[in-house]
Structure 1
């Protein structure tokens, strides 16, 4: 199985990704962990004596999604940023059924390989779905849970119907689709920002997206989550229904704070609440 459309495309994405890894703002180790579904690549940083923190990125992404945050977060936590299996990182190219315990078992293997009995987790989008799934199945293993636009709570929007006509309009249309999801691109990007843009352009060109819908968690499943939880949702999210996400989390997760950012899109850039929450401090807002 491969997630790539061609061998040349796979080579181009991985070469660019390795170049992006060199732009990581802190010293790091690269770990290759054995799991029942193949090797999993993890970027580790921060003092090993600090509390652990797992970072799980979204679909069509990799650990570079956290590079704007890990310099600050790694001052307080030993960070393990995971390349999700089945996505364009350096982990095994296997995509598991979403309506199974496959991803929870995979994370069990990751936890065991890292010698972690429990950990805090931050998950974004599809990674938020994985984090919620794991916290509901393994409540004793999750100490705190921070979610950015998590999938599986509110319904997915029918964005594809809007995006497909634009995708046929060349570079202009593709840029418009990106802006609808992530917001306007920088006018004069830095060299680093240009490299990130190059990577995600290669990913969108060469990687097969997942078309299967995320299963929606039942109320009972959400009620099984015991960890203190923070969720940040976006008012202009074209992929997920943020209002339903907020209302269902508040109704079913015992210890929950939902932050609604009315002007934010699916990519949440303002993440200041997360570190305060992970440290167990009260927010000033």
Structure 2
């Protein structure tokens, strides 16, 4: 059993539900597995073969299903490549090289080479936003546009949420669900399917405990490509206002938006991101 899961039965259930979503994917898709030094990487490919590439990097405790509501729109304009990040609850290898190294950039180099991609637009959220930033600051020539949703590595990472989650988890299923609500900011009835999926995963999955390295001012100033940053004013995990302050200081050409009533999970931004990517 991989150490990223709490049990083999839990891992099996997560994978089973994942496959069910893939079987009902809203657009035609090809499932590709790319060999890398970190192990195999699963990629879900959609959109016209001759369209410009778009790389999608999901957040912690997630997989390519995060993009289900976006993909029909984006795949109409791009050849989309939704990656399962290594070390997360998808079909990629469970490898977790140190974040404070160039290991993830080298991994993405191999993935892009395996897919035959030279340069690409990138959309990343949370941990995937951190990986997108890490790659874009190390390989700016390979990133044509960068759209970030509640990205890690810019603003201060909060710790109060972790203490709340530890206090709530012993309170049974209600406590576990409540801790997920606090972390994601999803409370509306229409968010229930997403909330259920996140609760299932974090009940059986061991997330990374390594704090995300914060990018220096010099690293952020390497972002010369068009950049869009969207954050939630009620994000319980990252300090959104600190994120915007540093973006505006280091990347003055970036489009930076604060959604005051939104938490860490930013949903429903399909068309806003598409407008930026096709500008």
Q: When the two structures are superposed, what TM-score results if normalisation uses the length of structure 1?
A: 0.93
3-state SS in 2 of match to 1:268: coil
Report the CA distance between 1:224 and its aligned residue: 1.1
What is the aligned partner in structure 2 of residue 275 from structure 1? 274
Does 2:163 match 1:161?
Answer: yes
> Runs in 1 of length 4+ with deviation above 2 angstroms?
181-189, 196-202
Q: Distance in 2 between matches of 1:9 and 1:181?
A: 21
Deviation string 1:62-87 (CA, Å, 9 cap, x unpaired) is: 00000010000110100000000000
Deviation string 1:151-191 (CA, Å, 9 cap, x unpaired) is: 000111111112211112112222222222333455478xx
Q: Distance in 1 between matches of 2:59 and 2:35?
A: 21
Q: For 1:117-196, list aligned pairs within 5 A.
A: 117-158=118-159, 159-185=161-187, 187=189, 194=193
Query: Matched residue pairs, number?
Result: 276
8 A contact 1:121–1:131 mirrored in 2: yes
3-state SS in 2 of match to 1:258: strand
Q: Distance in 2 between matches of 1:102 and 1:88?
A: 19
What is the aligned partner in structure 1 of residue 44 from structure 2? 43
Deviation string 1:125-173 (CA, Å, 9 cap, x unpaired) is: 0000000000000000000000000000011111111221111211222
Runs of 5+ unmatched residues, structure 1: 281-285
What is the aligned partner in structure 1 of residue 22 from structure 2? 21
Report the CA distance between 1:59 and its aligned residue: 0.4
Does 2:62 match 1:64?
Answer: no
8 A contact 1:57–1:84 mirrored in 2: yes
What is the aligned partner in structure 2 of residue 264 from structure 1? 262
Does 2:207 match 1:209?
Answer: yes
- When the two chains are superposed, the root-mean-square deviation of aligned CA atoms in Å is 1.5
Report the CA distance between 1:2 and its aligned residue: 2.9
Q: Distance in 2 between matches of 1:56 and 1:68?
A: 15
Q: Distance in 1 between matches of 2:172 and 2:4?
A: 23
Report the CA distance between 1:199 and its aligned residue: 4.0
